[in-house]
């Protein structure tokens, strides 16, 4: 889940900066690509911000995302929690939810995504809550959330993958296979979609075709060892 400066800037009032050259590095730099630079820039900026809750919250959000990219999940949660406390924002809540998920705090992540959806009906929140509910083994609820995400963005390959995975978990392989095929056309170099297609074939009882596709998948993606369990001698 990548976060760019424009997403963080949505916290700020319109016209906060005359142009991007006036934007502080804490907000202008990509927190995923240059996390250490963002942490340093935000460390310098945040103590100087007074009387502007939205700017301070945006700085905390940027640093929280950067900490997550650096692997410091405790610091990421701390900053993102503080950001949301200062200025409740759906995007910041989505960032916090993903940090919770990486920490294994799944139930808290579900609650945060639910809170985010009350503020904004966004496909990413529906998808992320679907993923966390899959982590929890709540298959029916996960499928419902993934379907909501799919209704809002029909060609996002992450949405297609996790919806297909949810359908396979619910033993609905015909539907899963169709979505996996769509995703394979959109992202032919992504082995995730082939694995879901193979699983759907297997669940449908077409073991021979599943084996053939899995064999081809393993030849093309040798690091994807999950294909091996479907290959028949």
If asked whether residues 115 and 55 sit together in one domain, one would say: no
Percent of the chain past pLDDT 90, that is, above it, reads 86
- The DSSP H or E segment spanning 55 is helix 53-70
Does the pTM surpass 0.85? The reply is: yes
If asked whether residues 2 and 82 sit together in one domain, one would say: yes
- Whether the CB-CB separation of 42 and 18 falls below 8 Å is answered with no
Q: What is the CATH number of the domain that holds 103?
A: 1.25.40.10
If asked whether residues 15 and 71 sit together in one domain, one would say: yes
Alpha-carbon torsion 92, 95, 101, 105, what sign?
A: negative
How far apart CA 32 and CA 88 sit, in angstroms, is 22
Q: What is the pLDDT of residues 78-89, one digit of tens each?
A: 999 999 999 999
Contacts for 44 with CB less than 8 Å, ≥ 6 apart = 26
Domain end position, chosen among 60, 87, 114? 87
Q: What is the pLDDT of residue 9?
A: 41
Question: Phi and psi dihedrals of 31, rounded to 5?
Answer: -70, -20
Q: How many domains does the chain have?
A: 3
Radius of gyration in angstroms for the set of CA atoms belonging to the chain, rounded to a whole number: 20
Domain limits at 227? 154-233
Contacts for 53 with CB less than 8 Å, ≥ 6 apart = 86, 87
- Check pLDDT > 70 for residue 147: yes
Q: From the centroid of its chain, how far is CA 108?
A: 16
């Amino acid at each position: 889940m990548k976060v760019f400066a424009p997403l963080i800037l949505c916290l700020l009032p319109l016209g906060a900066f005359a142009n991007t050259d006036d934007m502080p590095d804490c907000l202008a730099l990509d927190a995923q690509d240059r996390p250490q630079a963002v942490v340093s820039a935000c460390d310098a900026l945040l103590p100087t911000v007074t009387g502007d809750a939205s700017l301070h919250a945006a700085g905390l959000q940027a640093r929280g995302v950067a900490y997550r990219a650096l692997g410091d999940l405790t610091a990421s949660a701390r900053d993102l929690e503080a950001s949301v406390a200062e200025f409740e924002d759906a995007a910041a809540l989505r960032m916090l939810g993903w940090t919770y998920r990486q920490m294994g705090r799944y139930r808290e992540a579900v609650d945060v995504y639910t809170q985010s959806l009350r503020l904004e009906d966004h496909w990413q929140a529906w998808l992320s809550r679907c993923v966390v509910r899959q982590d929890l083994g709540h298959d029916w609820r996960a499928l419902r959330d993934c379907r909501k995400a799919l209704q809002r963005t029909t060609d996002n390959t992450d949405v297609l993958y996790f919806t297909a995975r949810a359908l396979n978990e619910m033993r609905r392989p015909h539907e899963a296979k169709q979505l996996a095929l769509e995703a394979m056309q959109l992202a032919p170099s992504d082995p995730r979609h082939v694995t879901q297609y193979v699983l759907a074939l297997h669940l449908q009882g077409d073991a021979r075709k599943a084996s053939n596709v899995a064999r081809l998948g393993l030849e093309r993606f040798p690091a994807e060892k999950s294909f091996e369990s479907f290959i028949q001698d």
